[in-house]
């Protein structure tokens, strides 16, 4: 039986997280189908058909899927997915939203946020904020899986596959989209940035984040934050890195005025190189940092900007 992967997109562009999920899926089996469900999203299907390893793209183009409402997506994916051995989704907020509905409708478990594939039915996943790794075997006929993007390389392009259009409209009429407030930024996205510079409560206020933004712009970096900085209203929620925010693993992560609580470490400790700038030399962030600088961030940041 084949594997069904669900594409992450915004009706215009295919999101990279889809490619990480494809790589995970290639380790579970050979025949890979990729579902693009959205509205006016033909361009996404075309992009998806070029991913190496994909044998077929299924396109479900219907107004009901425009905003990926969980009720409609859950029903659609359960309907299509019942003929597959695996249903694989990137563990983004969209995947996390609808995938458990699919699992429940199919009466199977969901294995969340996998970081390794041991065999077609055995997977590794972090638990307890990444302080333990569980190896879990699925006993179900259909394995419903969400994939942690940072644990798998993104799949590249290959020969293009055929696109089949489906005609299944699942409009549950239980919910409606009202609005979306998207934080616009010219900087790279947190989850795909090569370099991230994050600020914590030590930044003091929102204005001071310009100190990080100036350095970020010189490095082509994304700007992130700790929960404390988001809760205090310094910056919006989509910047939160951690157990319950975004999981990142860039080449370079610079933590500024962040103490290094386990919930924050859970989101960034797989970064290749970690730099910590903190005035408290006892801060736990130093225990994971490759390079630690014990100093006042308000002295360091302007100096760093000058030197880059």
Partner 1 sequence: MKILVSVKRVIDYNVKVRVKSDNTDVDLANVKMALNPFCEIAVEEAVRLKEAGTASEVVVVSIGPKPCQEQIRTALALGADRGIQVETEEMPESLNVAKLLAKVIEEEQPGLVIMGKQAIDSDNNQTGQMLAALTDMPQGTFASEVKIDGDKVNVTREVDGGLQTVELNMPAIVTTDLRLNEPRYASLPNIMKAKRKPLDVKTPAELGVELKAHTKLLKVTPPAERQAGIKVASVDELVEKLKNEAKVL
Ligand X SMILES: Cc1cc2nc3c(=O)[nH]c(=O)nc-3n(C[C@H](O)[C@H](O)[C@H](O)COP(=O)(O)OP(=O)(O)OC[C@H]3O[C@@H](n4cnc5c(N)ncnc54)[C@H](O)[C@@H]3O)c2cc1C
Our CB check for partner 1 shows the closer of 126 and 257 to be 126
Which residues ranging from 27 to 66 are in contact with partner 1 (CB under 8 A)?
Answer: none
Specify which residues 145 forms β-bridges with: 88, 111
- In the region spanning residues 254 to 273, those forming contacts with partner 1, defined by CB under 8 A, are 262-263, 269, 272-273
Q: Does 263 bind ligand X (CB under 6 A)?
A: yes
* Cα separation, 108 vs 250, whole angstroms: 34
From the annotation, which residues make up the binding site? Answer: 201, 226-227, 240-244, 257-264, 278
Give CA separation, 138 vs 3, 31, 109, 226, in Å: 15, 20, 8, 34
Report d(CA 137, CA 187) in Å as an integer: 40
Largest alpha-carbon pair distance within the chain? Answer: 61
Q: Does 13 bind partner 1 (CB under 8 A)?
A: no
Q: Select from 258, 274, 289, 304 the one that contacts ligand X (CB under 6 A).
A: 258
248 forms part of the interface with ligand X (CB under 6 A): no
Compute the least distance from the CB of residue 21 to ligand X, in Å.
Answer: 22
Binding piece for ligand X, criterion CB under 6 A, among 8-16, 28-36, 54-62, 275-283: 275-283
56 forms part of the interface with ligand X (CB under 6 A): no
Q: Judged by CB under 8 A, how many residues of this single chain contact partner 1?
A: 89
The one among 137, 153, 280, 296 contacting partner 1 by CB under 8 A: 137
Contact 25, 6 (CB under 8 A): no
Q: Are strands 195-199 and 252-256 parallel, antiparallel or unpaired?
A: parallel
Name the binder of 113 from partner 1, ligand X, none, CB < 5-8 A by kind: partner 1
Q: What is the DSSP string of 273-289?
A: EEEEEES-TT-GGGGT-
Per CB under 6 A, the segment of 87-95, 104-112, 208-216, 223-231 that binds ligand X is 223-231
From the list 35, 111, 229, 283, which residue makes contact with partner 1 (rule: CB under 8 A)?
111
Using CB under 6 A as the binding rule, whether residue 242 contacts ligand X is answered as yes
Selection from partner 1, ligand X, none that 93 binds (CB < 5 to 8 A by kind) is partner 1
Asked if 226 interacts with ligand X (CB under 6 A), we say yes
Number of residues that bind ligand X (CB under 6 A): 27
Please list, in sequence order, all residues whose beta carbon lies within 8 angstroms of the beta carbon of residue 184, skipping any fewer than 6 positions away: none
Q: How far is the CB of 84 from partner 1 (least distance, A)?
A: 17
User: Other CB atoms closer than 10 Å to residue 154's CB: what's the count?
Assistant: 15
Query: What tokens does 289 get?
Result: 């940092």
> What token pair was written down for 114?
């996998």
CA distance 22 to 74: 20
Distance (Å, whole) CA 89 – CA 20: 10
Whole-angstrom distance, CA of residue 263 vs CA of residue 221: 22
228 counts as binding ligand X under rule CB under 6 A: yes
| Pairwise CA distance, residues 289 & 275, whole Å | 5
Among the listed ranges 28-36, 54-62, 145-153, 243-251, the one in contact with ligand X (CB under 6 A) is 243-251
Task: Work out how close the CB of 226 gets to ligand X at its nearest, in angstroms, rounded to a whole number.
Answer: 3
Does 282 help bind partner 1 (rule: CB under 8 A)?
Answer: no
Three-class SS state of 140: coil
Residues that bind ligand X (CB under 6 A): 200-202, 226-229, 240-245, 257-259, 261, 263-264, 267, 278-280, 283, 296-298
């Amino acid at each position: 039986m084949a594997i069904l992967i669900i594409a992450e997109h915004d009706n215009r562009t295919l999101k990279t997280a889809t490619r990480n999920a494809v790589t995970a899926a290639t380790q579970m089996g050979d025949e890979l189908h990729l579902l693009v469900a959205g509205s006016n999203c033909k361009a996404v299907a075309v992009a998806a058909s070029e991913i190496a390893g994909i044998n077929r793209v299924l396109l479900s183009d219907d107004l009901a899927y425009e905003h990926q409402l969980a009720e409609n997506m859950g029903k659609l994916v359960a309907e299509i997915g019942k003929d597959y051995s695996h249903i694989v989704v990137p563990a983004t907020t969209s995947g996390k939203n609808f995938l458990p509905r699919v699992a429940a409708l199919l009466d199977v478990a969901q294995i969340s946020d996998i970081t390794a594939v041991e065999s077609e039915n055995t997977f590794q996943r972090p638990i307890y904020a990444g302080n333990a790794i569980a190896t879990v075997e699925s006993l179900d006929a259909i394995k419903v899986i969400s994939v942690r993007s940072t644990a798998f390389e993104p799949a590249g392009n290959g020969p293009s596959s055929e696109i089949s259009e489906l005609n299944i409209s699942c409009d549950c009429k239980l919910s409606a989209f009202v609005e979306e407030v998207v934080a616009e930024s010219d900087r790279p996205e947190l989850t795909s940035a090569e370099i991230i510079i994050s600020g914590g409560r030590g930044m003091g206020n929102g204005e001071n984040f310009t100190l990080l933004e100036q350095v970020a712009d010189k490095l082509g970096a994304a700007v992130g934050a700790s929960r404390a900085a988001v809760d205090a209203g310094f910056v919006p929620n989509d910047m939160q890195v951690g157990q319950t925010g975004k999981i990142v693993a860039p080449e370079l992560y610079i933590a500024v005025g962040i103490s290094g609580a386990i919930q924050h470490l859970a989101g960034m400790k797989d970064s290749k190189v970690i730099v910590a700038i903190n005035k408290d030399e006892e801060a736990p962030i130093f225990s994971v940092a490759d390079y630690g600088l014990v100093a006042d961030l308000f002295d360091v940041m302007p100096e760093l900007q000058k030197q880059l």
